[in-house]
A and B are shown apart, each in its own frame.
Chain A
Amino acid sequence: MQKSLHIDPGKCTGCLQCESACSLENEGLFNPSKSRVKVFTFHDEGRFVPYTCTQCDEAWCMQACPVDAIVINAETGSKDVLEDVCVGCKVCTIACPFGTINYNTDSGKVTKCDLCGGDPACVDACPTDAITYVDANATGLDKMRAWASKTDNAS
């Protein structure tokens, strides 16, 4: 069963545990600036929204890469950057409509979410289940359940 990250902004408190965990997993440091998942705080609206790569099937980044440095991980379905192939041209960062693949000035390569190979650190770190890793065919299950509970069969 293929899984995908599912984000429920309504549950996010903006604590950045996900950014902390992501940077530790991928960079070996607590460094939110290098996290592949970002939490956006909309202060005036009182909202916190985590955001990261959704692993498009027809991934724009992958299509745009001139050296085939972005490949599909057969096991997880994630689009992974091959660091030793990436030449740091950044064309993928232009192609991606969502901004979720970014250049890292330290490595000279691009980085993006790779689902941590199937065990996403952000999911493990999130204290409120705002980010979950669920059946890719039923990411709407929780929402369906919530609405289902409001459906009155008796009337």
Chain B
Amino acid sequence: MSWTRKLLRVNLTAGTVTEEALNMNWANDYLGQRGLATRYLVEEMDPAADALSPENKLIMATGPLTGTSASTGGRYSVICKSPLTNAIACSNSGGFFGAELKFAGWDMVIFEGKAASPMYLSIENDKATLLPANDLWGKSVWEADKIMRTKHQDPQARIACVGRSAEEGCLYAAVVNDLHRAAGRSGVGTVMASKNLKAVIVRGTLGLGGIHDPKAFAETTKAGKAVLAENAVTGQGLPAYGTQVLMNVINEVGALPTRNMREVQFEGAANVSAEAMAEPRKSDGKPNLTTNGACYSCTIACGRISTVDRTHFSVKDKPEYWINSGGLEYEAAWALGPDTGVDDIDALTYVNFLCNEDGLDPISFGSTVAAAMELFETGAISTAQTDGVELKFGSAEALCWAAEVTAKGEGFGKDLGLGSKRLCEKYGQPQFSMTVKGQEFPAYDPRGIQGIGLAYATSNRGACHLRGYTIASEILGIPEKTDPLESAGKAGLVKAFQDATAAVDSAGLCVFTTFAWGMDDIAPQVDAACEGNWSTEKMMEVGERIWNLEREFNAKAGITGADDTLPDRLLSLPANVGPAAGKVNELDKMLPEYYSARGWNADGSVSAETHQKFGLPG
């Protein structure tokens, strides 16, 4: 069965913790994790409720393969309504926390209400207790982690925690687990902090059994691992270079958004690339990258473990940062680097450490800084707002300062914590915000890569690459190459990626497997683990059902087809250089075709037929 068939309901208002049976009818329709938690959220809360009110719920959810030996079977997601987008938030994280939750006997934890004072949840197998967190409040994730470990005297416990940014109301605060893995996007950490919930510490020694067909599971997971090992991307590229392998590639195709997406190629890209991370530095002869690290059960191991040069201005007087920790992944490196015009790899690594330490989504943070730099350049803000700091494109000092004040919610850091949309609105220049539905863009310019523009515009959680990673096809040729500059045919491609990703997430697997795995590789693993018939067709159907359910949540939250758009800069300001020079994103051509492929009405609403076809609630 692979599900533990139990969930933990934590009512923070009442201070109660209760066990509940998992709704297996829903599990059959929505699989687990992202899909199943969304089904619970739709059932239990009004999508129109204020995301930061006690009416919002926050769900930590695993998938049926989380905790198994299937490669990458260690993922969990945090699901709630987002304060950044007012849409559904579903942020996926690796590390070891999700698997531990499963070993403690829980498929998911639902938090509801709001505690009167700061609390944290301790889970030891079937014993779950709410404990006071007054001493943890006001502490960074890294500090709180230490305090909890000392208190619980358990080095093997796993911790998910929010930082000071979340406590201070930064709208894109993450939930950080295992010190440097994060449910990063859409402000799920902000929601957690709004409930006065600082952390969850979990220790599971019960283990996970009940694999439906153990022999088939052993065979299919072994075959799956062989496919990953033999694939050039998952077997060689990602372990050696991490996602940062993309920096030079995307720059070359002219789709590396630069200086708040005004330009599409960055002259300093090579300085902040994977290759640069492997270069020995002058001060101590060591490279930025120490080694690669894996999340639970992952046989790819794309994670970067890095150090900052001890002689760098950012850390030379701060020995607490002379450590190894989570290093630069591509999206973070892009947002902190090319998008702000900074090509100082040590500054980027330091800021990445701060993002992990205090739970900032580095994509939203970097993009917001980029917008602030454009505001500064045009005079909409000045040193009067920035405490005297010259917030200029390309300034590593300004970037480091911005991270420090945003992490703690101090001074101008409060403004930066609003995110790019609200910041630009506040200073009267909304056109500088590179966002969809209020969420900042990731690292691919939709002028040079047409399909990803449609994926951004229609993503259920606002601009995001992980809701439909068409880069795989448009740039890397997976599963087949499509022309990045061509918008024709991208509607079907985006839909296929969106549906497949929803199913992969809901299984508890990592989407990076899909560089090598098709649904024909994934479905047999799910089918062997779970009761029921989990064919490729069923997985795709479940993915599409989830997509439609999320869309309906958003509709009830007041989001319409009019929000499926891109900033004017990408629709009317052509790319300046490179292969995409002269191109804008052709969203207007792709969107009607996409709605039609989805079986939606012309205004982007889910049609009655499609609603009925997938048996959606309400």
Interface residues of A (CB under 8 A from B): 13-17, 20-21, 23-24, 27-34, 43-48, 125, 127-128
Contacts and interface: CB of A to CB of B under 8 A. Distances in A.
Given A21-B69, A32-B103, A46-B324, A13 B209 contact: no
Contact of B103 (A15, A33, A46, A47): A33
Contacts of A24: 69
Nearest to A44: B323
B208 A15 contact: no
B296 interface: yes
A30 B207 contact: yes
A24 to B, nearest CB: 7
B209 A15 contact: no
A127 B235 CA distance: 10
B207 A127 contact: no
- The 8 tightest CB contacts between A and B, nearest first, are A31-B207, A46-B324, A29-B207, A15-B294, A13-B301, A127-B299, A46-B290, A13-B294
A20 B206 CA distance: 13
B295 interface: yes
Contacts of B71: 127
Nearest to A124: B222
Given A20-B69, A32-B103, A43-B324, A15 B295 contact: yes
A111 B179 CA distance: 31
Contact of A43 (B68, B206, B323): B323
Given A15-B294, A46-B305, A125-B69, A31 B208 contact: yes
Secondary structure call for the B interface: loop
A21 B221 CA distance: 12
Nearest to B207: A31
Contact of B207 (A16, A27, A125): A27
B305 A30 contact: no
Interface string B302-342: 01011100000000000000011100000000000000000
Interface of B: 67-69, 71, 96, 99, 103, 156, 179, 204-209, 225, 229, 239, 290-299, 301, 303, 305-307, 323-325
Nearest to A15: B294
25 contacts: A13-B239, A13-B301, A17-B297, A20-B68, A20-B69, A23-B207, A29-B207, A29-B208, A30-B103, A30-B209, A31-B103, A32-B103, A33-B204, A33-B205, A33-B207, A46-B306, A46-B307, A46-B325, A47-B291, A48-B291, A48-B293, A127-B71, A127-B225, A127-B301, A128-B301
Contacts of A46: 290-291, 293, 305-307, 324-325
Nearest to A11: B291
Contact of B293 (A14, A17, A31): A14
Contacts of A127: 71, 225, 229, 299, 301
Contacts of A16: 96, 294, 296-297
Contacts of B307: 46
B324 A15 contact: no
A43 B179 contact: yes
A30 B292 CA distance: 24
A46 B297 CA distance: 18
A81 B338 CA distance: 59
B157 to A, nearest CB: 11
Contacts of A43: 179, 323-325
A15 B297 contact: yes
A31 B229 CA distance: 24
A46 B303 CA distance: 11
Contacts of A34: 205, 207
A19 to B, nearest CB: 9
B296 A28 contact: no
Given A17-B299, A43-B325, A44-B323, A29 B292 contact: no
Given A31-B208, A33-B156, A46-B324, A17 B69 contact: yes
Nearest to A10: B291
A26 B296 CA distance: 20
Q: Which of B156, B229, B299 has the most CB of A within 10 A?
A: B299
A24 B210 CA distance: 11
A46 B294 CA distance: 12
B209 A29 contact: yes
A20 B297 contact: yes
A61 B311 CA distance: 49
B397 to A, nearest CB: 26
A27 B103 CA distance: 13
Contacts of A17: 69, 297, 299
Nearest to A48: B293
